Amino acid sequence: MPIDDAWWKSAVVYQVYPRSFADSDGDGVGDLGGILARLDHLVGLGVDVIWLSPVYPSPQDDNGYDISDYQDIDPLFGSLADFDRLVAAVHERGMRLVMDLVVNHTSDEHPWFRESRTGTDSAKRDWYWWRPGRVDADGASVPPNNWGSFFSGSAWALDPVSGEYYLHLFSPKQADLDWENGEVRQAVYAMMRWWLDRGVDGFRMDVINLVSKDPALPDGLPYGGGPYGDGSPYYLCGPRIHEYLAEMHREVFAGRPERVLTVGEMPGVTVADARLFTDPARAEVDMVFQFEHVGLDQGRTKFDVRPMRLTDLKASLGRWQTGLADVGWNSLYWNNHDQPRVVSRFGDDGPEHRVRSAKLLATVLHLHRGTPYVYQGEELGMTNAPFASVRDIDDIEARNHYAHAVAAGEDPAEVLAGLRAMGRDNARTPMQWDASPGAGFTTGTPWLPVNPNHTTINAAAAVADPDSVYHHYRRLIALRHNEPALVHGDFTMLLPDDERVYAFTRHYRGTTLLVLANFTSEPVDVDVPKDLLDGAEPILGNGPYGEPGRLGPWEARVYRRVE
Ligand code: ISL
């Protein structure tokens, strides 16, 4: 089929974080049975694809992104039989299911790594990055290079068995696989085929642009004021990354039905790289999932929060729209399991503006070109959590950052403020289904406390209220399915220098969509070119339609004009 008809261009993806979605057995952790019981919520919303964060056996050091068996289900979440039932139920409802593929690293408890660490002569030694240490001026053993880990500290761990170090870009319990080794790649491809044969509809590929490393592993330049170096020039979109993804495509996806979706999660990817990764003619991945816009309010580290300027957001998202206009495809998202809640971050989560600003953010995002992602609870306008102290924080990235920053002399209260604003736990508090004590998520004690605001912000209330954030998402998703201009239309940014109003058009075969959004809590006058409004009808908004040239606080409006 011509690529412009690719089904995923008019699809909306819903991300489920299984730990926090729905608990069917009262142990306080979400599970597959819980997802199965709540599928009709997703049918009601109208989404096409469910992306499931990892449910494989795992020591849960990074909540399942540390996998110890790629071909099973962790008993915490259920069994393979439960999984098969879920896939069948998803398909019966006309949706697809995409798995998380985490193959930059395995758990240190994966049999491959257990074997690899038995000694320098292990048959799987070169499945991972093992190197002898260096000796410092005092004669002490230090890591092979200066790279820092994403989760604080060195990216190397010393293993007592051989006295060598192994590379871990994330936690020491997430050992990086060495993709230079063809056996590693073949083992990964075989596992992927096994899941596709089982009925899954594709993969969201975790940090897939980190799998090719420069085997020389050179030191990186110092960053963040700490003792570590930035190794990213040597592992981010590394020398063989396109070769690997093309090989994966040939080995795993070629000849499969068009129903399969491949999404490359790629921190630090540039527009130019993304064009290569997602050019259909190159057959690598269908779309990238990039991070530029969610880094705009961060300073030296991701926990150094600074206000986001609307003009920066427009410049970034606009550049991605233009850069992929003729070739390539992008994911559109505000939230995932690694990001704070968008209404708290870029909107206003106070009682007066929460609903309005959540709807505005949804409108702006969903009207762009690309495939929109809804992260569980986003459709309810769920907010960040009121973590009182560092003891309330569970996430490894946040806990490590706190320990390192405080040890380095930073003010604990300031570090905690950064975690409150940016911490990943904000995304991971349980899904708010109803106003009951466990928020309808669990009858037991939830693994992470439910947000106290579940008494008013919850799915039951949202579904019952035609003016809710939920129904606004439902309308946006329906528009994606029914309006070709939303899927295929050209994108033109208007008012790029305006700090208050986000405005753009989409144009396709005689239809123009005009989007106007006021990112402030004051009314604003908007200078919209008159020709854009001539004969245009408002089709969607978050308030009563007033004068086209004036928007109320956090008001967003979409107009359509047909020539
Ligand atoms: O959160 C981040 C940026 O602010 C990232 O550094 C994040 O760790 C990165 O985007 C990769 O994320 C993925 O891989 C990690 C895992 O912890 C995340 O949950 C996952 O989404 C390691 O597997």
> Using one digit for the tens of pLDDT, what is the confidence trace for 124-141?
999 999 999 999 999 999
Verify whether ligand 1 is closer than 6 Å to residue 65 (CB atom).
Answer: yes
Ligand 1: residue whose CA is nearest its atom 8: 150
Single-letter amino acid code for the residue at 395: D
Taking the C-alpha atoms of residue 280 and residue 286, their distance in angstroms, rounded to an integer, is 7
Question: Distance from the CA of 168 to the center of ligand 1, in angstroms?
Answer: 13
Atom number of ligand 1 nearest to Cα 105: 23
pLDDT of residue 504 exceeding 90, the answer is yes
150, 167, 301, 397: residue to mutate for ligand 1 pocket, most atoms within 8 A of CB: 150
> Using one digit for the tens of pLDDT, what is the confidence trace for 455-502?
999 999 999 999 999 999 999 999 999 999 999 999 999 999 999 999
Q: Model confidence at 15, in pLDDT bands (50, 70, 90)?
A: very high
Q: Please give the backbone phi and psi of residue 266, each rounded to the nearest 5 degrees, phi first.
A: -140, 85
Question: Distance from the CA of 198 to the center of ligand 1, in angstroms?
Answer: 27
pLDDT of residue 528 exceeding 70, the answer is yes
**What pLDDT score was predicted for residue 1?**
44
> Using one digit for the tens of pLDDT, what is the confidence trace for 147-195?
999 999 999 999 999 999 999 999 999 999 999 999 999 999 999 999 9
List of E strands, 391-546: 490-494, 501-508, 511-518, 524-525, 537-541
Taking the C-alpha atoms of residue 446 and residue 482, their distance in angstroms, rounded to an integer, is 39
62, 338, 395: residue to mutate for ligand 1 pocket, most atoms within 8 A of CB: 338
Q: Return the minimum-mean-pLDDT range out of 36-45, 105-114, 156-165, 254-263.
A: 254-263
**What pLDDT score was predicted for residue 4?**
65
Q: What is the mean pLDDT of residues 324-347?
A: 98
Atom number of ligand 1 nearest to Cα 295: 4
Domain with CATH 3.90.400.10 in the chain: 111-176
SS (H, E, C) 187-251: HHHHHHHHHHHHCCCEEEECCHHHCCCCCCCCCCEECCCCCCEECHHHHCCCCCHHHHHHHHHHH
Determine contact, residues 36/89, Cβ cutoff 8 Å: yes
Mean pLDDT of the chain: 97
Closest CA to 99 of 52, 33, 32: 52
Ligand 1: residue whose CA is nearest its atom 6: 150
DSSP H or E segment with residue 416: helix 412-422
Atom number of ligand 1 nearest to Cα 62: 17
Verify whether ligand 1 is closer than 6 Å to residue 263 (CB atom).
Answer: no
**What pLDDT score was predicted for residue 3?**
52
Taking the C-alpha atoms of residue 9 and residue 319, their distance in angstroms, rounded to an integer, is 19
What 3-state DSSP class applies to 408?
A: coil
Q: Output the CA angle 183-186-188, nearest 5 degrees.
A: 110
Two structure tokens written together for 249 = 């495509």
Verify whether ligand 1 is closer than 6 Å to residue 206 (CB atom).
Answer: yes
Question: Distance from the CA of 338 to the center of ligand 1, in angstroms?
Answer: 6
Verify whether ligand 1 is closer than 6 Å to residue 150 (CB atom).
Answer: yes
pLDDT of residue 198 exceeding 50, the answer is yes
Q: Which residues are catalytic?
A: 206, 265
Two structure tokens written together for 355 = 């609903």
DSSP H or E segment with residue 169: none
Verify whether ligand 1 is closer than 6 Å to residue 203 (CB atom).
Answer: no
Closest CA to 296 of 336, 334, 337, 349: 334
63, 65, 345: residue to mutate for ligand 1 pocket, most atoms within 8 A of CB: 65
Q: What is the mean pLDDT of residues 297-321?
A: 96
Verify whether ligand 1 is closer than 6 Å to residue 62 (CB atom).
Answer: yes
Determine contact, residues 322/491, Cβ cutoff 8 Å: yes
Verify whether ligand 1 is closer than 6 Å to residue 102 (CB atom).
Answer: yes
pTM for the model: 0.98
Task: Pick 539 or 225 by higher pLDDT.
Answer: 539
Q: What is the mean pLDDT of residues 196-209?
A: 98
pLDDT of residue 359 exceeding 90, the answer is yes
* Non-local CB neighbours of 72 within 8 Å, separated by 6+ positions: 56, 57, 80
Verify whether ligand 1 is closer than 6 Å to residue 472 (CB atom).
Answer: no
The alpha carbon of 258 is separated from its chain's Cα centroid by a whole number of angstroms, namely 23
> Using one digit for the tens of pLDDT, what is the confidence trace for 424-436?
999 999 999 999 9
CATH code given to domain 487-562: 2.60.40.1180
**What pLDDT score was predicted for residue 529?**
86
Atom number of ligand 1 nearest to Cα 298: 4
Two structure tokens written together for 511 = 């239809």
Residue-level length of the chain:
563
Ligand 1: residue whose CA is nearest its atom 4: 302
> Using one digit for the tens of pLDDT, what is the confidence trace for 396-407?
999 999 999 999
Rounded-to-10 torsion of CA 197, 201, 205, 209: 90
Verify whether ligand 1 is closer than 6 Å to residue 95 (CB atom).
Answer: no
DSSP H or E segment with residue 462: helix 459-464
Q: Look at the domain 111-176 and name its fold.
A: Oligo-1,6-glucosidase; domain 2 (3.90.400)
Q: Look at the domain 3-106+182-385+431-474 and name its fold.
A: TIM Barrel (3.20.20)
Question: Distance from the CA of 455 to the center of ligand 1, in angstroms?
Answer: 31
Q: How big is the chain by its Cα radius of gyration, in Å?
A: 24
Domain with CATH 3.20.20.80 in the chain: 3-106+182-385+431-474
Taking the C-alpha atoms of residue 185 and residue 195, their distance in angstroms, rounded to an integer, is 16
Taking the C-alpha atoms of residue 541 and residue 547, their distance in angstroms, rounded to an integer, is 13
Pairing type for strands 556-562 and 537-541 reads antiparallel
**What pLDDT score was predicted for residue 192?**
98
Single-letter amino acid code for the residue at 526: V
Taking the C-alpha atoms of residue 518 and residue 347, their distance in angstroms, rounded to an integer, is 11
Verify whether ligand 1 is closer than 6 Å to residue 349 (CB atom).
Answer: no
Taking the C-alpha atoms of residue 109 and residue 8, their distance in angstroms, rounded to an integer, is 36
Question: Distance from the CA of 339 to the center of ligand 1, in angstroms?
Answer: 9
Domain with CATH 2.60.40.1180 in the chain: 487-562
Taking the C-alpha atoms of residue 440 and residue 233, their distance in angstroms, rounded to an integer, is 46
Q: What is the mean pLDDT of residues 310-335?
A: 98
Taking the C-alpha atoms of residue 233 and residue 117, their distance in angstroms, rounded to an integer, is 27
Taking the C-alpha atoms of residue 134 and residue 140, their distance in angstroms, rounded to an integer, is 8
Verify whether ligand 1 is closer than 6 Å to residue 207 (CB atom).
Answer: yes
Taking the C-alpha atoms of residue 387 and residue 373, their distance in angstroms, rounded to an integer, is 26
